[in-house]
A and B are shown apart, each in its own frame.
Chain A
Amino acid sequence: MESPTEGYRCRVCSAPLPITADTIAIGCQYCGALNIIKHDLIKSLYLVQPMSEESVLSKLEERAQRGSSPGVFTRSNLAWLDKVLIPLYIVDVDALLNYDAVVRVYIRKCRRREKREECWTETKTVRVSGVYKPGPRSYPVIARRGVSVYSAKALAYAYLTRRPIAKPLSGSDQESGIWRNLLAVELDGKTAITLAIDEYLDDARDKAKSWIKREAEIKASTWGGSVVGSSIAWLRLIPVDVKSSVTDPIAVPLYYAIYRSNVGFYRVYLAGWDGEVILMEKPAGRLERGLWLVGGIIASGVIGAIASTLPIYCGSNGFIYSLLAIAIGAYTSYYTTRKAITPFKTVVKTHISKIPGES
C-alpha cells in the first residue's frame, strides 16, 4: 500500500525522499538539496557553516598532541568520520511563580538541667507567600522528534554557550550538497515552545520549593534553636506572566569520528563549526588504571577496619552502622575494580554542567 507521504521526490534531482507524516524539512540523500515539505510550519532555516573535515581533524590532532594520548588521534588511525546537521530551535522563556505555602519547620532545642543536656525537636508551622522570579532562560530544542542522546544535547548547549554565527539560507545554499546530512526537521516552533516551557517550569517549580523552604526556615530560626529541616505541608504555586518566543530552526553541524589503534578504538564528537570536543573517549593509561585499583583496595581496607570497630564503639546501633560501612566498601571496590579492568578508556565530556539532568 502506498502511504500518504510516499511518492515525494526531491525538487532538484527527483530522487525519492524518505519522509514521514511529521517531516517538515529534509535533505535529499542523493543530491544533498534541501526540501521543505510543510511551508506553513517553517519560514526559514539558518545554517551554522561547518568547518571542513580537514580542519576538524587537524584541530583534534593538535589537541591530542598536547594531551596524554598523542599517538591515537592521527589521520592514519581514522576509521570513520561522519557529519550530521542537527536542527535546533532556541526558545526563550520567562515567567513568574506566585507562591503561598504552609511549611513545617523542624527546630532542635536543647537545655541544661542538673549538668545534663536535654534536646528535643519542635515543629513550627510557618506561612510564606510572595513571588519567585526564576529569570529568563534560553533552551535549545532539537527539532527532531525524540532525540535525547547526550551527544546531540551537548552540541545544543555548546551552541547556546558559544553562539557561532548562523546565516539565513539563500536560494543557492539550499541546493548545495550540505543538506544530505541534515536530520529531518519534525517539530514546529509551537511544539518547541511547549517543550521548553515544560522544562523551564519543571525546573522553576523545584527551585521555588527550595526557595520557599529556605524562606520559612529563616523565619522560624528567629524563634531560637537550630533548624534541622522542613517540609511543605500545603502549597499554591502559580506560574504567571509566562512569555516565550522561538527562533527559526538553525542547522548546527556535529562531527563524529572513530579512531582505531592497536590499543582499541575511540569515539569522538566535535562541534562542527570550531572543532572543539563535545565528547570523547581516550585511552586510559596503565597508571590511571593502576590508581583505580590501588585506590579501591586502600579505600576498602580502611572501610573494612572501620566496619569491624563500629559494633564495639557505637553501642546498640553499631551493627547497623557496620553493615552500612560494609555496603559502602563493597560498592567502592566494585566500582574501582571495574574502572581498573574495563573499559580501557576515559570518557571526556564537556558542557556537562549546562545540561539539565546530567552530572
Chain B
Amino acid sequence: MVLITSSTTRAKCPYCAAEFDIPKGQVFATCPYCGTTFKVSEPTASIEHYVFTLKYDSNKAFEAARLFISIQPGVPSDASKNINYSLGRLYYVPIYIYEVVIDAPCIETEEVSSGEHFEASVLGGQEAVYKLAPGSMNIPIPIPRDYPFPAQVREYFKPRFMKEAFYIQPTIDPYEQLGEIKEPYLKKSIEEAEMACPGKYRVIDKSSFKAIAHYPFWMIEYTYRGGNYRVIVDGSDGTIVYAEYPLDPMKKTRWLLIGAASTLIALGTSQLIINVAGLSTINSWLYSILSYIGGIWVFLSRFVKKKGVYMFKPREEGVFSPPR
C-alpha cells in the first residue's frame, strides 16, 4: 500500500523498465516490481535504500502497548485485562541518512597518516558527524522531533515492504536538506581554520547524502469500555512513541483533589511567610498563585480530559534507547 496524496505522474524504472504511477512532485520513486529506488529527475543515479528490520509483529506491539498503558497515571485498574485489540497498521516512515565530513586544513600543514597513527604539524578546522532527518513532511502518525532513529541499517529494501505496509514516499529533496544540515558544521570548521591559519586554508567538503531508509512503526488501535484509543509502537525495538489511554473518573478526581490541596498549601505557605516576617506586599495572593501555576497546569492538563496522552520525550527517555 503506497500512500498517494496528490495527482500522479508516470515513472519508468531504470533497471527493469517497468512503468508505474507516482505522486507528482516526489523526489524518489521505488519500483514496485524490482525494488529499485531512483531519483525521479535523474533515474540513472543509484540510491542506497534500506529498511530497518521489523522485530515486533502486531501482537507483540499490542502486548508492549498493553503493558505500557497499564502503568500510566490515572488508568483504571482493570485496563490491563479489559483493553481489546481492534486494528494494527504498519507504516514505513522514510528517513534520510547523511554523513557530514568537513575538513579545513591549513595549507602549510604536514600530515603523516597510516591506518593506526596520525600526526600533523598544524591543524585547521574539522567536523565529522552522522545525521538523520525525516524524508517526508507528510507523516500521518505522531513521531516526536529528534526521535533517536538508529543510524545503522539492516537490510536492502524489497518491493514486498510496499505491499505489506503503508509505505510513505520520501518527498523532501535530500540534496537541499543536506545544505541546511551541514551549514552549522561548515561554519564551525571555517571558524576553527580562521583561528588557526587565517586566509591560508582549504575547505574540503566530503559531506554526502548516504541513503534512504524506511523505518517501521505500528499504529495500534484498541478499545476499552466503548472508547477508542491509539498507540504508536516502534516496530524495530518496541519503544512506545505515542499512547492514548483511558482515565478512571475516580482516580482523576483524586488527582484533581490533590492538585487543589497542593495549590492551597502553596498559597498558605506564601501567606504564612509574609505574615511571620511582617513583609509589605502587593497582590500577594495573585503572585503566590502565579508561582504555583506550573503545578496547577500539570494537574489540569493530565486529569481534566477524557483520554490520557503520552508522547515519547527524546531528551528524557532517549537514554534508554537500545544501541541498535
Interface set of A (CB-CB < 8 Å, partner B): 1, 3, 5-6, 18, 20-21, 41, 43, 82, 84, 86, 95, 142, 144-152, 155, 183-184, 186, 188-191, 193-195, 197-198, 201, 205, 235-247, 254, 256, 260, 263-265, 267, 269, 279, 281, 293, 296-298, 300-305, 307-309, 311-313, 322, 325-326, 329-338, 341-342, 344, 347, 349
Contact = CB atoms under 8 A, between A and B. Distances in A.
B35 A301 contact: no
A133 to B, nearest CB: 15
B291 A149 contact: no
Contacts of B262: 293, 296-297, 337
By CB atoms of chain B within 10 A, which of A43, A238, A302, A337 has the most? Answer: A337
Interface string B306-324: 0000000000001111111
A69 to B, nearest CB: 15
B304 interface: no
A159 B16 CA distance: 50
Given A304-B289, A308-B281, A147 B150 contact: yes
Given A144-B323, A308-B283, A333-B292, A1 B15 contact: yes
Interface in B283-315: 283-284, 286-299, 302
B119 to A, nearest CB: 5
B250 interface: no
Contact of A329 (B106, B274, B292): B292
Contacts of B1: none
B83 to A, nearest CB: 16
A190 to B, nearest CB: 6
A99 B148 CA distance: 38
B282 A151 contact: no
Contacts of A309: 274, 279-281
Given A1-B34, A20-B153, A302-B269, A190 B113 contact: yes
Contacts of B266: 297-298, 300-301, 304, 333
Given A264-B71, A311-B282, A296 B295 contact: yes
A265 B288 contact: no
Contacts of B53: 18
B280 A330 contact: no
Nearest to B263: A297
A235 B97 CA distance: 36
Interface stretch (B86-94, B122-130, B137-145, B165-173): B122-130
Given A21-B48, A334-B294, A151 B319 contact: yes
A274 B299 CA distance: 43
A137 to B, nearest CB: 15
B287 A20 contact: no
B152 A145 contact: yes
Given A184-B152, A300-B266, A235 B195 contact: yes
Contacts of B229: none
Contacts of A279: 319-320
Contacts of A312: 280-282
Contacts of A325: 291
21 contacts: A146-B130, A146-B151, A189-B115, A193-B118, A237-B195, A245-B117, A265-B71, A302-B269, A304-B290, A304-B291, A307-B290, A313-B280, A325-B291, A326-B291, A326-B293, A330-B290, A330-B293, A334-B295, A334-B297, A336-B295, A342-B72
A322 B113 CA distance: 60
A253 B151 CA distance: 20
B73 A146 contact: no
B190 to A, nearest CB: 14
Given A296-B262, A304-B292, A330-B291, 19 more contacts: A20-B153, A144-B151, A145-B99, A149-B148, A194-B128, A198-B126, A201-B126, A239-B120, A239-B196, A242-B120, A243-B117, A269-B320, A303-B291, A304-B288, A308-B287, A309-B279, A309-B281, A333-B292, A338-B298
Nearest to A331: B294
B257 to A, nearest CB: 13
Which of A256, A301, A347 gathers the greatest number of chain B CB atoms within 10 Å? A301
B179 interface: no
Interface in B67-83: 67-68, 71-73
Nearest to A195: B128
Contacts of B113: 190
A155 B319 CA distance: 12
A197 B115 CA distance: 15
A297 B128 contact: no
Contacts of B154: 18
Given A86-B323, A186-B152, A341-B73, A240 B291 contact: no
A307 B291 contact: yes
Contacts of B323: 84, 86, 142, 144, 147, 149, 151-152, 155, 183, 254
Nearest to A184: B152
B128 A198 contact: yes
Interface in B185-203: 192, 195-198
A222 to B, nearest CB: 28
A228 B91 CA distance: 57
B123 A201 contact: yes
Contacts of A197: 118, 123, 126
A48 B69 CA distance: 38
Contacts of B280: 309, 312-313
B121 interface: yes
Contacts of B35: 1
A305 B267 CA distance: 9
Contacts of B255: 341
Contacts of A308: 270, 274, 279, 281-284, 286-288
